[in-house]
């Protein structure tokens, strides 16, 4: 009997019936998340309903030295929830209760499987919403948002998940249930946990900030003949001192995909469209709108449309938010990247991506959060053509190099996961990476919590279950302490 | 299961929150994305296991995922093909086989349904007993509506004003037997709006039940017969007032794709949902005020399969003094789904309870839907919740009452209920 089998035999006592999946056909449906490029059939899947059940499973993993991976809705785009064949996949999709709504205190407490949009839907009638809005907000889970520190179109003005989570209940890698709060004195452990991609434990209850819905929202769509003039408009808007709720750009190929998918009716013949959303007090929005419209026309927009109703606003956003999946209409397969560059470097990086298209003979559709320089190049390929997948992969790597060269980062909001772990050494020195590992080891000395993610190769505290690595040189030299 | 269609899925997960079984159970294998993954496993060599078949059977076929999918995955075609594979390759238990044989020998045949009316009406009292014998029998007893007075429709109803179209009317099996007043109202409304209505006596089942249950050969037989009946009628369009029937009739050309002659005949037949047709035609007859609040329920085969959402709302909204209310989670199936509430009674009941709760929360006087299955399903769930008989009507009955200047009291089966009690 393998270690995993012995552990599985004891899961029944910790969980309700029907919460343990061992049938191989069923297990395989969990083999990947939103990134299908990486696949691994989990050793066993559990569907707990409470924090205590999560803790019980994690304690068993700790006892047997078996790795575990947390998964929410399985929509991540960096393979952060890629299972371990020798481990337990802890799926939070049945933990979807909203535990508390406190409008006066502007907060809500939810379980990790609650979807991002469900929070907004629960408080919309009272005039509130949950601000971070990843494109997958109707299905992505709040637990996953915490793990990835997810962003979204409106993060330009309102910040990322980390700015909207006030407290967490966390199951640590040894199975203890602890509370982390922004009110804690001392080190910002809450900040360390958010965006840790499942390597520091599993969030089992999340206290989120509720934001007051703005008095006025105006959404405009500007169409340009080419992406350069669109880029100029973005810089000019920010330079004019306007901070829009969102500025999003899509290029011709991305527009073509969105059009095919959701018939969003963007102006025909556009080489790029810019979606600009302004929100806040009505007087301010009106003033900013006049400025933005003028800037767009000055920089060469041949059409500027304003959403006259909630339906028209939704139609404009539908084109943008469906863009990733919509690419399925124009290409059999694609890789979505998540590089970040300084806004000022946008034109140069986009030109560089253009050159890479020719060099590798593949197409790249660009969809991005232009306001904060967060690019989402979609590298299109046909996986039935031998070698094309590899070419797409190589081109993706070069795009990330381009971002790093221009002082940017390999990820803005999708996380490093398994997909970009090997690019970490291009951005960080071995010392940087070792220091990050020390943080990880403080929480997870056995390396059981989502091993194989974020870091390129196991360096410390045993990525392989049950095998202890030696003391880290920094610890040995007395320069760092391992908790 | 066409591997090319399977490949269209990019695994984004946007379908998950719209899938009724994912909403209930939160499991990947009971979501559209997970089911497509299972189909992928099967076409790449994994034999069809009992577990797999169970997850396919648990799909309601509501097509909410088709509406939600940004990649344009044809889940409708995938699940249809998959159901046929399940019927071919999966060995069902004798009990399952018996229930299925009974349903397929009964529901597509109006005359047989008519013979069953009395036993079904009596069976409601036996429901707890039947439920213990077999949950499917219990569900059947629970769902059966009180017997309705039969309505005999003439083969031709002439336009009551300047003739604008000549249309054929599909009377349907369950609609025709359990809700004959809906067909009568349809004929009256169409005539008042200037249509000659042809009701071919030779029409039978449209084949929807078969095509949605993995019985393509039987479905093709019904389809050919229906096409022939309406060809003889010589009409501009065939108007359908039952969502499930309309959705399959619109797909006849796909169903008969392997038979070029019949495919052409299928393509030549123009099928429209009644609400779709009336909005396209434009109103002519006077709408009289109808002071009543109405909760409109989107039937999946109308909203998701045919994309008909705005038209019924426009028709109802065009009636003076009628107040239209929206039901929360309107895109989630009520659990009826053709034969689903008979073959999968447990999840169907859970979904029915969920829907009933949201319908009751609207506080509307009347529940309106365009599918007989939904109406029976929600009415049964309301009874189960101990809230008595909910007033239900088809969109066209409401329109009929307005065109004829009848009061709101005539709607929602109040009269029928009194009869049922007598």
Mean model confidence pLDDT for chain B = 90
In three-state secondary structure terms, B362 is coil
Assigned fold of A216-325: Alpha-Beta Plaits (3.30.70)
Give the pLDDT band (50/70/90) at residue A463: very low
The confidence score (pLDDT) of residue B417 equals 43
Give the pLDDT confidence of B8-25 residue by residue, as tens digits. Answer: 898 999 999 999 999 999
Domain ranges of chain A: 3-91, 98-212, 216-325, 331-421, 422-460
Give the pLDDT band (50/70/90) at residue B422: very low
* Residue B239 to residue B246: CA distance in whole angstroms: 8
Mean model confidence pLDDT for chain A = 91
Judged by CB atoms closer than 8 Å, whether chains meet at A115 and B17 is answered as yes
Q: By CA distance, what is A91's nearest residue in B?
A: B27
Question: Which of B137, B145, B189, B218 is CA-nearest to residue B416?
Answer: B145
Output B55 or A308, whichever has higher pLDDT.
B55
The reply to whether B106 touches chain A by the CB within 8 Å rule is no
Min mean pLDDT across B47-56, B132-141, B173-182 is at B132-141
Average pLDDT of span B202-212: 88
The reply to whether B12 touches chain A by the CB within 8 Å rule is yes
Contacts of A431 (CB under 8 A, 6+ apart): none
Min mean pLDDT across A446-455, B41-50, B133-142 is at B133-142
pLDDT beyond 80 at A186 = yes
Give the pLDDT band (50/70/90) at residue A17: confident
- C-alpha angle with apex B212: B209 to B217, nearest 5 degrees? 80
The confidence score (pLDDT) of residue A483 equals 45
In this structure, the number of other CB atoms found within 10 A of the CB of residue B282 comes to: 9
Judged by CB atoms closer than 8 Å, whether chains meet at A29 and B29 is answered as yes
Average pLDDT of span A407-433: 92
DSSP code string of A101-123:
EETTTTEEEE-TTSBHHHHHHHH
* Backbone angle region of A440, left / alpha / beta, with phi > 0 → left and psi within -120 to 50 → alpha: alpha
ipTM value? 0.90
Domains A3-91 and A331-421 share a fold: no
Selecting from A34, A262, A333 the residue whose C-beta is nearest the C-beta of B13 gives: A34
Average pLDDT of span A257-271: 87
Q: Are A131 and A154 in contact (CB under 8 A)?
A: yes
Considering the segment(s) A98-212 as one domain, its CATH architecture is: 2-Layer Sandwich (3.30)
The alpha-carbon gap from B64 to the nearest alpha carbon of chain A, in Å, equals: 14
pLDDT beyond 50 at A148 = yes
Q: How far is CA B393 from CA A306, B141, B292, B315, in A?
A: 41, 21, 12, 14
pLDDT beyond 50 at A254 = yes
Give the pLDDT confidence of B73-89 residue by residue, as tens digits. Answer: 999 999 999 999 999 99
How many residues are recorded in chain B?
Answer: 422
- CATH of region A3-91, choose from 3.30.1360.200, 3.30.43.10, 3.40.190.10, 3.90.25.10: 3.30.43.10
The confidence score (pLDDT) of residue A458 equals 57
Give the pLDDT confidence of A39-94 residue by residue, as tens digits. Answer: 999 999 999 999 999 999 999 999 999 999 999 999 999 999 999 999 999 999 99
Residues of A in contact with B26 (CB under 8 A): 47, 91, 93-94, 96, 113
Domain A331-421's class? alpha beta
pLDDT beyond 70 at A165 = yes
* Residue A127 to residue B137: CA distance in whole angstroms: 48
In three-state secondary structure terms, B63 is coil
The reply to whether B46 touches chain A by the CB within 8 Å rule is yes
Residue of A25, A115, A140, A323 to mutate when probing chain B, most B C-beta within 10 A = A25
pLDDT beyond 60 at B352 = yes
pLDDT beyond 80 at B273 = yes
CA B163 to chain centre: 30
Chain A positions contacting chain B at CB under 8 Å are: 21, 23, 25-26, 28-30, 32-34, 36, 47, 73-75, 91, 93-94, 96, 113, 115, 136, 138-140, 260-262, 322, 324-329, 332-334
Min mean pLDDT across A149-163, A453-467, B166-180, B229-243 is at A453-467
In three-state secondary structure terms, A471 is coil
The confidence score (pLDDT) of residue A480 equals 57
* Residue B73 to residue B4: CA distance in whole angstroms: 10
pTM of this prediction?
0.90
Give the pLDDT band (50/70/90) at residue A3: very high
Judged by CB atoms closer than 8 Å, whether chains meet at B26 and A113 is answered as yes
Maximum Cα–Cα distance across chain A: 72
Contacts of A74 (CB under 8 A, 6+ apart): A30, A32, A33, A34, A81, B13, B28
Q: Are A106 and A164 in contact (CB under 8 A)?
A: no
Judged by CB atoms closer than 8 Å, whether chains meet at B26 and A30 is answered as no
Beginning with the edge strand found earlier in the chain, give each strand of the sheet holding B237-240 in spatial order. B156-157, B195-198, B165-170, B237-240, B271-273
The confidence score (pLDDT) of residue A333 equals 84
pLDDT beyond 70 at B421 = no
Judged by CB atoms closer than 8 Å, whether chains meet at A261 and B70 is answered as yes
Give the pLDDT band (50/70/90) at residue A476: low
Contacts of B236 (CB under 8 A, 6+ apart): B165, B166, B167, B270
Give the pLDDT band (50/70/90) at residue A441: very high
Residues of A in contact with B72 (CB under 8 A): 260-261, 328-329
Residues of B in contact with A257 (CB under 8 A): none
* Residue B267 to residue B201: CA distance in whole angstroms: 22
DSSP code string of B144-168:
PPPP----PPPSEE--SSS--EEEE
How far does chain A reach from its first CA to its final CA, in angstroms? 33
Give the pLDDT confidence of A107-147 residue by residue, as tens digits. Answer: 999 999 999 999 999 999 999 999 999 989 999 999 999 99
Beginning with the edge strand found earlier in the chain, give each strand of the sheet holding A246-251 in spatial order. A303-306, A216-224, A272-280, A246-251, A363-369, A374-381, A333-336
The confidence score (pLDDT) of residue A462 equals 44
The reply to whether B51 touches chain A by the CB within 8 Å rule is yes
Give the pLDDT confidence of A302-358 residue by residue, as tens digits. Answer: 999 999 888 899 889 988 888 887 888 888 888 889 999 998 888 889 899 999 999
Give the pLDDT confidence of A397-409 residue by residue, as tens digits. Answer: 999 999 999 999 9
Residues of B in contact with A329 (CB under 8 A): 71-72
Judged by CB atoms closer than 8 Å, whether chains meet at B14 and A25 is answered as no
In chain B, the domains with their CATH numbers are 3-89 (1.10.1060.10), 156-279 (3.40.50), 286-421 (3.40.50)
Q: Are A377 and A349 in contact (CB under 8 A)?
A: no
């Amino acid at each position: 009997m393998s270690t995993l089998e012995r552990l599985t035999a004891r899961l029944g006592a910790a969980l309700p019936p029907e919460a343990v999946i061992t049938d191989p056909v069923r297990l395989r449906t969990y083999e990947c998340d939103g990134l299908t490029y990486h696949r691994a059939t989990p050793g066993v899947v559990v569907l707990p309903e409470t924090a205590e059940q999560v803790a019980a499973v994690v304690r068993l993993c700790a006892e047997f030295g078996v790795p575990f991976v947390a998964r929410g809705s399985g929509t991540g785009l960096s393979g952060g929830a890629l299972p371990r064949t020798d481990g337990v996949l802890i799926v939070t999709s049945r933990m979807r209760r909203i535990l508390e709504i406190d409008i006066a205190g502007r907060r809500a407490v939810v379980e990790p499987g609650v979807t991002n949009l469900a929070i907004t839907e629960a408080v919309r009638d009272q005039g509130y919403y949950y601000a971070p809005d990843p494109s997958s907000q109707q299905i992505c889970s709040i637990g996953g948002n915490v793990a990835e520190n997810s962003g979204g179109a409106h993060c330009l003005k309102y910040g990322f998940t980390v700015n909207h989570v006030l407290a967490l209940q966390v199951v640590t890698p040894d199975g203890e249930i602890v509370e982390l709060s922004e009110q804690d004195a001392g080190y910002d452990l809450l900040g360390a946990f958010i965006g840790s991609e499942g390597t520091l434990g599993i969030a089992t209850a999340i206290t989120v900030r509720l934001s007051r819905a703005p008095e006025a929202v105006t959404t405009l769509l500007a169409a340009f003949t080419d992406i350069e003039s669109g880029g100029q408009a973005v810089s000019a808007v920010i330079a004019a001192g306007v901070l829009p709720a969102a500025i999003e750009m899509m290029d011709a190929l991305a527009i073509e995909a969105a059009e095919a998918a959701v018939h969003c009716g963007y102006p025909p013949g556009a080489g790029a469209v810019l979606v600009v959303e302004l929100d806040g007090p009505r007087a301010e929005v009106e003033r900013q709108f006049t400025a933005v419209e003028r800037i767009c026309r000055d920089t060469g927009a041949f059409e500027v449309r304003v959403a006259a109703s909630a339906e028209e606003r939704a139609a404009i956003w539908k084109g943008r938010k469906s863009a990733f999946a919509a690419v399925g209409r124009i290409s059999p397969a694609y890789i979505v990247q998540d590089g970040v560059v300084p806004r000022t470097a946008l034109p140069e990086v986009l030109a560089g991506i253009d050159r890479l298209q020719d060099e590798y003979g593949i197409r790249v559709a660009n969809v991005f959060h232009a306001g904060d320089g967060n690019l989402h190049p979609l590298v299109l390929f046909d996986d039935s053509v031998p070698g094309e997948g590899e070419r797409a992969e190589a081109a993706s790597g070069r795009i990330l190099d381009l971002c790093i060269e221009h002082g940017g980062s390999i990820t803005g909001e999708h996380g490093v996961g398994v997909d970009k772990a090997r690019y970490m050494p291009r951005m960080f020195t071995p010392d940087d990476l070792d220091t990050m590992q020390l943080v990880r080891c403080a929480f997870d000395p056995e390396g059981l919590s989502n091993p194989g993610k974020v870091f390129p190769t196991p360096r410390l505290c045993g990525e392989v279950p049950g095998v202890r690595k030696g003391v880290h040189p920094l610890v040995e030299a007395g320069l760092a302490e391992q908790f | 299961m066409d591997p090319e269609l399977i490949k269209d899925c990019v695994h984004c997960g946007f379908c998950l929150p719209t899938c009724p079984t994912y909403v209930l159970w939160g499991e990947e294998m009971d979501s559209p994305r997970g089911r497509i993954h299972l189909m992928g496993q099967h076409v790449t060599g994994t034999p069809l296991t009992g577990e797999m078949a169970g997850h396919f059977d648990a799909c309601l076929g509501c097509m909410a995922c088709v509406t939600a999918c940004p990649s344009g995955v044809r889940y409708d075609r995938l699940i249809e093909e998959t159901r046929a594979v399940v019927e071919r390759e999966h060995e069902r238990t004798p009990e399952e086989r018996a229930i299925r044989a009974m349903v397929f020998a009964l529901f597509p045949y109006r005359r047989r349904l008519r013979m069953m009316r009395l036993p079904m009406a009596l069976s409601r009292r036996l429901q707890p007993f039947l439920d213990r014998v077999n949950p499917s029998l219990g569900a059947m007893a629970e769902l059966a509506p009180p017997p309705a007075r039969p309505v005999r429709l003439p083969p031709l109803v002439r336009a009551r004003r300047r003739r604008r179209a000549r249309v054929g009317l599909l009377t349907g099996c369950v609609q025709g037997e359990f809700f004959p007043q809906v067909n009568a109202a349809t004929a009256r409304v169409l005539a008042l709006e200037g249509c000659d209505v042809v009701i071919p006596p030779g029409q039978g089942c449209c084949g929807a039940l078969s095509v949605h249950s993995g019985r393509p050969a039987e479905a093709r037989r019904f389809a050919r017969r229906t096409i022939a009946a309406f060809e003889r009628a010589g009409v501009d369009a065939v108007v359908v007032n039952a969502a499930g029937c309309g959705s399959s009739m619109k797909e006849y050309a796909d169903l008969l794709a392997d038979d070029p002659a019949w495919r052409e005949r299928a393509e030549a037949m123009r099928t429209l949902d009644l609400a779709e047709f009336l909005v396209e035609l434009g109103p002519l007859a006077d709408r009289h005020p109808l002071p009543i609040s109405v909760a409109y329920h989107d039937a999946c085969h109308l909203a998701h399969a045919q994309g008909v959402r705005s038209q019924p709302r426009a028709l109802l909204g065009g009636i003076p003094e009628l107040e239209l209310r929206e039901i929360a989670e309107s895109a989630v199936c009520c659990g009826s789904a053709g034969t689903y509430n008979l073959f999968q009674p447990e999840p169907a009941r859970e979904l029915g309870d969920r829907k009933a709760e949201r319908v009751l929360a609207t506080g509307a006087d009347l529940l309106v839907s365009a599918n007989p299955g939904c109406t029976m399903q929600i009415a049964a769930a309301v009874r189960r919740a101990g809230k008595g008989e909910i007033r239900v009507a088809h969109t066209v009955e409401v329109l009929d009452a307005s065109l004829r200047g009848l009061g709101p009291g005539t709607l929602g089966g109040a009269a029928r209920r009194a009869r049922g009690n007598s």
